[in-house]
């Protein structure tokens, strides 16, 4: 006797590479275990609009390699209200849907948490490129976003070396510097600026100047957007080193697009299947994650009230290797 018989899946918030792989896993695992599975178009807004449709094996054919989300996503202010949340629960009940898998970030998790308190069994999957969800080592889309940044830095380095210039690369990460840190270490950036770690702009400028004086033909500075705009960092450096004019590249939403890496596809597949199995076992209001390569469940209340932390060992390693 399963705890759920009909489940739905939605994607919410900013899209991330691997969301489609997660949707595919939820649908195919649900069908494998004899459940009826439905898709919700355009996140919580689609839920309130009753934009819900049945999904079968063919619904998720040929999507594992695609970026974005076939279910689409949208912001929904109405769902932030108690009335909107109640309406969402009522819509699901009217369709006989007793379980919901939500793929998204912190705001998406909070929506799942609210629905669970209204009697809908929910599971949250960490779909965000920022890697800013606690109680999971990696989020779906993070590995791909890092790969996109590293590829861009590799190309910029060719040009910067040819012209003996410095380059400032602004990447996503308003509250979490993981993309900047992981991409910076992988690409050999000379300086990595993240919102979690204080820095001295005088030291940043001095390091860049010293690199050039000691024969380096380029300097790469990666800046997480939570630190500030790349243009502002460039102005600060110019004020201290007028002879070195950095070129600024803002990668923006290009970090969200593209084919998900095998790592993200596999992570999404594992988490999607895990969410379905746990719903069948009667679990609810949980966030699915992976820690030390082990699948984990954590209360969503705890996840949304715990700030993720940056890996300081990796940050210090990046500093040691950037000399």
Please check if 247 is assigned to a binding site.
yes
The verdict on whether 51 is a catalytic residue reads no
With residue 32 as reference, give the H or E element that holds it: helix 19-32
**Identified catalytic residue from 15, 56, 62, 130:** 130
Which residues 6+ apart lie within 8 Å of 305 measured at CB? none
| Rounded distance between C-alpha atoms, residue 66 and residue 26, angstroms | 16
Q: Among 188, 175, 154, 151, which residue's Cα sits nearest to residue 317?
A: 188
Q: Is residue 225 a known part of a binding site?
A: yes
**Local structure of 294: helix, strand or coil:** strand
105 labelled binding-site residue? yes
Please indicate if the annotation marks 27 as binding a ligand: yes
Positive or negative: CA dihedral 261, 263, 266, 269: negative
Residue 299 assigned ligand-binding role: no
- Please give the Cα distance from 16 to 53 (Å, whole number): 22
172 labeled part of a ligand binding site: yes
**Around 241, how many Cα atoms within 13 Å sit in the side-chain half-sphere?**
21
In the sheet with 247-250, reading across from the earlier edge strand, the strands are 191-193, 219-224, 166-171, 247-250
Is there a binding annotation on residue 174?
yes
Q: Is 107 annotated as a binding residue?
A: yes
- Contact of 190 with 208, CB cutoff 8 Å: yes
- The string of DSSP letters for 173-229 reads -SS--HHHHHHHHHHT-SEEE-TTS---HHHHHHHHHHHHHTT-S-EEEEEETTT--
Q: Is 28 annotated as a binding residue?
A: yes
191 in a known ligand binding site: no
157 labeled part of a ligand binding site? yes
Terminal alpha carbon distance of the chain:
61
Q: Is 130 annotated as a binding residue?
A: yes
- 164 belongs to an annotated ligand binding site: no
Active-site annotation, residues: 130
Binding residues for substrate: 128-130, 165, 172-174, 225, 247, 253-256
Binding-site residue set: 14, 24-28, 75-76, 105-108, 128-130, 157, 165, 172-174, 188-190, 216-218, 225, 247, 253-256
Annotated binding site for ADP: 24-28, 157, 188-190, 216-218
Q: Which residue ranges make up the annotated binding site for Mg(2+)?
A: 106
- Give binding residues for ATP as ranges: 14, 75-76, 105-108
């Amino acid at each position: 006797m399963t705890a759920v018989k009909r489940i739905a899946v939605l994607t919410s918030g900013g899209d991330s590479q691997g969301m489609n792989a997660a949707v595919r896993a939820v649908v195919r695992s649900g069908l494998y275990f004899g459940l009826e599975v439905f898709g919700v178009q355009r996140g919580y807004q689609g839920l309130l609009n009753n934009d819900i449709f049945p999904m079968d094996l063919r619904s998720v054919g040929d999507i594992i390699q695609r970026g974005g989300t076939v279910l689409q996503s949208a912001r929904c202010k109405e769902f932030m209200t108690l009335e909107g949340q109640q309406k969402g629960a009522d819509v699901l009940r009217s369709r006989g849907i007793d379980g919901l898998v939500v793929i998204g970030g912190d705001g998406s998790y909070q929506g799942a948490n609210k629905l669970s308190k209204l009697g809908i069994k929910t599971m949250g999957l960490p779909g965000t490129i920022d890697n800013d969800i606690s109680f999971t080592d990696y989020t779906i889309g993070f590995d791909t976003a890092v790969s996109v940044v590293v590829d861009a830095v590799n190309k910029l380095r060719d040009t910067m070396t040819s012209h003996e210039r410095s380059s400032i690369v602004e990447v996503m990460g308003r509250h979490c510097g993981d993309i900047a840190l992981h991409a910076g270490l992988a690409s050999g950036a000379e300086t990595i600026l993240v919102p979690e770690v204080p820095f001295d702009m005088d030291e940043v400028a001095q390091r860049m100047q010293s690199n050039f004086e000691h024969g380096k033909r380029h300097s790469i500075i990666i800046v997480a957007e939570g630190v500030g705009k790349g243009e502002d960092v460039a102005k600060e450096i110019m004020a201290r080193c007028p002879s070195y004019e950095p070129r600024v590249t803002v990668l923006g939403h290009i970090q969200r697009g593209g084919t998900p890496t095998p790592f993200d596809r596999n992570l999404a597949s594992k988490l999607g299947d895990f969410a379905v199995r746990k719903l069948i076992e009667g679990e609810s209001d949980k966030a699915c994650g992976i820690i030390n390569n082990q699948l984990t469940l954590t209360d969503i209340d705890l996840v949304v009230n715990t700030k993720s932390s940056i890996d300081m060992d990796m940050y210090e390693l990046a500093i040691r290797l950037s000399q």
